[in-house]
Amino acid sequence: MSNEIIILGNFENSDNNALQKDFMSKDLLEVAKKMNLQIGFVSNKEDYQQIVEKCKNAKVIIPSAKYELLTDLSGDLKSLKLVQTFSAGTEWIDKPQLKEMGIKVSNNGGANAVAVAEHAIGLMFAVNRKLDIQIDSAKNGTWMDGVEGDRDEFQTLAGKTVGIIGLGKIGSRVAKRLSGWECKIIYYDTKTFDKNYEKECNAKKVPLIELLESSDVITLHVPYDRSTRHLISREELDLMKKSAILINTCRGGVVDENALIKVLESKKIRAAGLDVTEVEPIEENNPLLNLNNVIITPHLATRAKQSEVNAMHNVLANASRVIKGEQPEWVVEPV
C-alpha cells in the first residue's frame, strides 16, 4: 500500500475495498476525489507489523478509533508528519512524545462547534424548565401531576448571566446565540482575545472567581488536558450561587464528579446538565442518574449530519496541506 493518507480504524475486514464501504464510504470518498486525494484504509485489528508495512509511506494517519499502539506506530513510520483526528478531542494521544518525534497532532478545526453549542443551550433550557420531567410525565400518563418542584426551580434564560469558561470555537458560538436570548454574557479564558472578537460575542472577560460567583448558568467549553483536569472542583462549586446551574459538554474530567454529586445532593447549586461524565458509559450505580436536578445525555452533543460533513472536509483539507508540504492547521500543542 503506497497511500500517503491512511485511515486507521476498528475495521473487521482488512480488505481495502471492503473497508472503504464500511467507513463513511460514499461521502468521504467523494470529498477525497474532489481534492485529488488517495486514501488507504487499514484495520487496527491486524498484526502490528502488517499495520506498519501498510502504513510505511503515510505522511498523515487519521485514526477513526482509539489505537493503543499509535505512539509506537508513529515512531516506526519515518515519513509520518501528522496525526489528524476526526474529533475535537485529542486527549488520548501522547502529544508530547509525538512532538519529540517531529509529528504534529491536529483536531477537526471546530467541525462540530455549532452542534455542541446548540446542545449546550438545549441543556440550559431543559434544566431550567425541567423538560425531562415534563416529557416523562406526559409519556407516563401522569400529565401535569408528575411535574414536581418549587416555582423557583422553573426559570427562563432571559435576564440571566451566563458564564462561559472557554470562548473558543464552541464557547463563542454559545455566546453569539445567547445574546439573542436577552442574556448577559461573561467569560473566562486563559487566552487573550481582541476587542472585535469579544464584541462579536457580546461577551465581557472577567476573572474566574467573579464568573463563578456571579453567573446564573456556567457552561464549560475547554479542552481536556492536565491544566483543565478537575478545573471545577469543590472549591469552585462552593463559589457558585445556590440558584446556579452547571452545563458540561466538553469532557467529564474537567469536573470533579464526586464533588459535583455532593453539591447537587445537598442542593448547594440548583442543577446540572451533562453530556459527559468522568467514566463513560456512565456506570449504573452512579448517583447522578438518580438525581432529579440533573439531566444527562450520552456524549452525543456532536451528533448532527453537519458535524460529520464539516469534519470530513476539514480533516481531508488538512491532510492535503501536509501532502503538499504545507503546514497543517488546528495543531494541538502538548500541555
CATH number for 43? 3.40.50.720
Task: Decide if 332 is inside a domain.
Answer: no
Say yes or no: 124 and 103 in one domain. no
Task: Decide if 331 is inside a domain.
Answer: no
Here the cell at position 65 is 478509533
Say yes or no: 76 and 163 in one domain. no
Task: Decide if 328 is inside a domain.
Answer: no
3-class secondary structure, 35: coil
238 Cβ partners below 8 Å, 6+ apart? 263, 268
Say yes or no: 30 and 117 in one domain. no
pLDDT value at residue 28: 85
pLDDT value at residue 65: 87
Task: Decide if 333 is inside a domain.
Answer: no
Catalytic (active site) residue 270:
no
Total of domains in the chain? 2
Dihedral sign (CA 178, 180, 186, 188):
positive
Of 100, 148, 280, 326, the active-site residue reads 280
Catalytic (active site) residue 182:
no
Catalytic (active site) residue 313:
no
The pTM (predicted TM-score) of the whole model is 0.93
The size of the chain, in residues, is: 335
Residue numbers of the domain that contains 101: 5-111+305-323
Of 230, 234, 299, 313, the active-site residue reads 299
Tens digit of pLDDT per residue, the chain (335 long)? Answer: 568 999 998 887 656 565 555 555 668 888 898 999 999 999 999 999 999 999 999 999 999 889 999 999 999 999 999 999 999 999 999 999 999 999 999 999 999 999 999 999 999 999 999 999 999 999 999 999 999 988 999 999 999 999 999 999 999 999 999 999 999 999 999 999 999 999 999 999 999 999 999 999 999 999 999 999 999 999 999 999 999 999 999 999 999 999 999 999 999 999 999 999 999 999 999 999 999 999 999 999 999 999 999 999 999 999 999 999 999 999 999 98
Say yes or no: 97 and 49 in one domain. yes
Q: Which of 128, 106, 111, 221 is nearest to 174 (CA)?
A: 221
Dihedral sign (CA 128, 265, 282, 241):
positive
Residue 40's DSSP bridge partners are: 6
Say yes or no: 129 and 273 in one domain. yes
- The whole-angstrom separation of Cα 97 and Cα 81 is 13
Of 4, 251, 270, 278, the active-site residue reads 251
Task: Decide if 149 is inside a domain.
Answer: yes
